Amino acid sequence: MAAFEDQIRVLICQGTGGLAAGAKPVEEAFQAEFDKHGVDAKVGKRCTLVGTGCRGLCANDVLVDIVIPGQAAVTYDFVKPEMVPQIVEEHILQGQVVEKKKAGPYYQKFLEKQMRVVFSRCGTIDAESLDDFLAMEGFSGIKKAVTMTPQEVIEEVKKSGLRGRGGGGFPTGVKWSFCAASPGKEKYLICNADEGDPGAFMDRSILEGDPYGLIEGMMIASYAIGAEFGYVYVRAEYPLAIKRLQKAIDVCYEKGFLGKNCLGLGFNFDLRIKAGAGAFVCGEETALMASIEGERGMPRPRPPFPAVRGLWTKPTNINNVETFANVSYIFYRGGDWFASIGTEGTKGTKIFALTGKVKHTGLVEVPAGITMREVIYDVCGGILNNRKFKAVQAGGPSGGCLPGEAIDAEVDYDSLIKAGAMMGSGGLVVMDETTCMVDIARFFLNFTRMESCGKCVPCRIGLKLMLDILERITEGRGQEGDIELLEDMCYDIKKASLCGLGQTAPNPVLSTIRYFRHEYEAHIHNQRCPSNSCKALLKFEVVDAACKKCGLCYKICPVDAVIWEKGQLAVIDKEKCTKCTSCYDACRFMAIE
């Protein structure tokens, strides 16, 4: 990276994943080695330790990159403090890469098809350092924006084709123009960092890894709309994100980048964090505003839209974290550049959180329009334990499950909707043959039922009734007609609910019925769970014909209920077995039923 040519940089992942895996002791080990050897003097350069945000491959943390000017960066994974002396000695001092400890070829593959735009700083710079941010285009977007009129700024965003990344995919420039056109001087700007979607963590990574980038995007929006006051609504479950963002905001105030006459560019913008308090529905924009006002976070009917009557009854614009992060890049490189990436209907890149039964779980940023298959197999290495792919759940509780046949769908707002799922915020949960689709539907319904704010009867009571039916089915007590009843209820709840939560909560049920109806039928008619996943229907027996005598089940059982010896078939002692399903998950040959 040109900006840091005079130094060797050791990038240590210190996102939530990195820290959980022990990034701090690794950093201390590097520091100790540097002190011991007097490394700066020996290599004739400054040798800098940089705590970065998430790289995307959290499962392989601690990830360490050694960046020596003029050479390709080298990544080490699963780094432990014990490995550090060797890396410093051989790689930094002698210039010999420690091949054995290097991240394998999969890491190259993980990066190959990605296009890291929004993530270009995240994972490469010290997230807390303003200097690092400035060295990589930081604040050049807002400087460019103020050379245009607010109207021109909005036009540029429209030209880029950017659509909101928070789920709905509404064109960002158009949204801004509504708020800009609203009468009144006092306006508000809100960043939605509630990220309530379980299985999604891209917003968290941006907040932790590039907080200044988010602030810059919000500055551009505030200038365009004429809002002088902004909030970032962050969920309270993200303590590190709150800490880093707060630090970045403090630094910006100190330097005069925020507040009155920001950066000396002639506009005012005050920014403050508001911590959420654990309610999924607060991600809905009208509920979120109620929450900032100190009320219960209950949605209200729209119109009036927030652009007309929002926070404290003033015109308000609300966007997602990733949306604002994209805005900065539109002004670094131009709306035309942005529009050249992606598909007809979805421009730019999209960040996905890939989790579940996929080899390399992680955060990936790809140009819109690549297929689900490419993301799962090429970027993330395929299915865990080489099991069979069954489905991918896209769009969280509001989305749907796509089966094998739909895996060539493009990741693009419109293609996904056509296939019966949606982009949502970008969570993709991969499922293999051991995942029961009825159970997944039950899982999501349980979630949405608990998170319903209770204002609408169909959402509050309907979801509960649907959940009861699904629970019955997964326990082997399904009845004739249950599937049809579920379908009917889905349509009614979708139609009669006030906010997006109730309107989309039935989607996981509808999509699993659409693609996996046979699984529902097997549960109802035969009291059988084809994926051997519903606990009440599991027998916990070893299928002799499938057992490869490997003993994996024996090793994992926490209560020694598996009887096994080398070369022998495993047997489960039903008296001792607590039905914890550990052995079932561990067996690679589907030999436990």
Partner 1 sequence: MSNAEAPVAPEQEEIDLGPANQVIDKYLNLKGALMPVLQEVQDAYGYLPEPCIHLIAERLNVYLSQIYGVLTFYAQFHLEPRGKYIVRVCMGTACHVKGAGRIADTLSDMLGIGHAETTEDLKFTVEHVACIGACGMAPVIMVNEATYGSISVKKMEEVVEKYRAMD
Residues 31 and 36: their CA atoms lie apart, in Å, by: 9
The nearer residue to ligand SF4, 177 or 448, going by C-beta atoms, is 448
From CA 428, how far away is CA 418, in angstroms rounded? Answer: 17
**CB of 61 or CB of 195, closer to ligand FMN:** 195
Is residue 206 a contact point for partner 1 (CB under 8 A)?
A: no
* Candidate list 8, 54, 416, 469; residue touching ligand FES; CB under 6 A: 54
In the window 450-489, what residues touch ligand SF4 (CB under 6 A)?
Answer: 452-456, 459-460
Binding residues for ligand SF4, rule CB under 6 A, total 28
**Binding ligand SF4 by CB under 6 A: which of 326, 425, 497, 532?**
497
Residues 312-351, mask of contacts with ligand FES (x by CB under 6 A): ----------------------------------------
Name the residue among 42, 100, 36, 46 with its Cα closest to residue 68: 46
**390-54-128 Cα angle (round to 5):** 160
Q: Which is nearer to partner 1, 182 or 355 (CB)?
A: 355
284 near ligand FMN, rule: CB under 6 A: yes
Among 8, 11, 12, 13, binds ligand FES (CB under 6 A): 13
Q: Is the dihedral of CA 363, 367, 369, 374 positive or negative?
A: negative
Comparison of 110 and 540: residue with beta carbon closer to ligand FES: 110
For residue 562, state whether it binds ligand SF4 (rule: CB under 6 A). yes
| Cross-strand bridge partners of residue 269 | 259
Least distance (Å) between residue 315 CB and ligand FMN: 15
Q: Residues binding partner 1: what is the number (CB under 8 A)?
A: 61
- The contacts found for 105-111 with CB under 8 angstroms, 24 or more apart, are 106/359, 106/360, 106/381, 107/57, 107/60, 107/75, 107/77, 109/378, 109/379, 109/381, 110/56, 110/57, 110/360, 110/362, 110/364, 110/379, 110/380, 110/381
Q: Using CB distances below 5 to 8 A depending on partner kind, what does residue 318 bind out of ligand FMN, ligand FES, ligand SF4, none?
A: ligand FMN
For ligand SF4, which residue has the nearest CB? Answer: 502
Cross-strand partners of 430: 356, 392
For ligand FMN, the closer of residues 210 and 284 by Cβ is 284
**Alpha helices of 83-198 — where are they, by DSSP H?**
84-86, 105-112, 130-135, 140-145, 150-160, 172-181
What residue 510 binds from ligand FMN, partner 1, ligand SF4, none (CB within 5 to 8 A, per partner kind)? none
- 405 CB neighbour count, 10 Å cutoff: 9
Residues 6+ apart with CB under 8 A from 432: 357, 383, 384, 385, 387, 388, 389, 390
Site for ligand FES in 192-251 (CB under 6 A): 198-199
**Nearest distance from residue 57's CB to ligand FMN, in Å?**
24
C-beta of residue 257 within 8 angstroms of C-beta of residue 223:
no
Distance CA(524)–CA(264), nearest Å, equals 68
Q: What does the per-residue mask of binding to ligand FES show for 15-44, with x meaning CB under 6 A?
A: xxxx--------------------------
* Residue among 135, 148, 556, 577 that touches partner 1 (CB under 8 A): 556
The stretch near ligand FMN (CB under 6 A) out of 77-85, 110-118, 383-391, 494-502 is 494-502
Overall size of the chain counted in residues: 593
Q: At its nearest, how many Å lie between ligand FMN and the CB of residue 350?
A: 12
Q: Which does 199 bind (CB under 5 to 8 A by kind): ligand SF4, ligand FES, ligand FMN, none?
A: ligand FES
Residue closer to partner 1 (CB basis): 332 or 447: 447
Q: Are 321 and 211 in contact (CB under 8 A)?
A: no
Residues 454-493 that bind ligand FMN (CB under 6 A): none
Q: Supply the DSSP symbol for 535.
A: G
Who's near 402: CB < 8 A, 6+ residues apart? 372, 391, 392, 393, 394, 409, 416, 419, 420, 421, 511, 515
Asked if 538 interacts with partner 1 (CB under 8 A), we say no
- Give the interface size with ligand FES as a residue count (CB under 6 A): 14
- CA dist., res. 207 & res. 210, Å (int): 6
- The yes or no reply on residue 74 touching ligand SF4 (CB under 6 A) is no
d(CA 363, CA 390): 21
Q: Does 299 bind ligand SF4 (CB under 6 A)?
A: yes
| Binding mask of the shown chain, residues 181 to 210, with x at each position contacting ligand FMN by CB under 6 A | -----------x-xxxx-------------
Site for ligand SF4 in 306-325 (CB under 6 A): none
Helix (H) or strand (E) holding 245: helix 239-254
Q: Distance between terminal CA atoms of the chain?
A: 53
18: Cβ–Cβ under 8 A, 6 or more apart, which residues? 12, 54, 58, 61, 62, 63
Quick one: 166 or 400, whose CB is closer to ligand FMN? Answer: 166
d(CA 430, CA 401): 9
How far apart are CB 433 and ligand FES at their closest, in Å? 21
Q: Does 56 bind ligand FES (CB under 6 A)?
A: yes
Residue among 24, 577, 589, 590 that touches ligand SF4 (CB under 6 A) = 577
DSSP letters, 256-268, are: TSSBSSGGGSS--
Among 135, 263, 265, 275, binds partner 1 (CB under 8 A): 275
Which tokens go with 30? 């590097």
Contact between 320 and ligand FMN per CB under 6 A: yes
Of the ranges 179-187, 252-260, 312-320, 366-374, which one interacts with ligand FMN (CB under 6 A)?
312-320
The token pair at 296 is: 């219960």
Is there binding between residue 396 and partner 1 (CB under 8 A)? Answer: yes
119 binds partner 1 (CB under 8 A): no
Asked if 320 and 519 touch (Cβ cutoff 8 Å), the reply is no
What lies within 8 Å, CB to CB, of 585 at 6+ separation is 434, 556
Name the DSSP class of 565. -
- Which CB sits closer to partner 1, 59 or 461? 59
Q: Tell me if 23 sits within 8 A of 13, measured CB to CB.
A: yes
Helix (H, G, I), strand (E, B) or coil at 365: strand
Site residues for ligand FMN per CB under 6 A = 164-168, 170, 175, 192, 194-197, 281, 283-285, 318-320, 323, 425, 499-501
Site residues for ligand SF4 per CB under 6 A = 281, 299, 452-456, 459-460, 497-499, 501-502, 540, 556-557, 559, 561-562, 572, 577-583
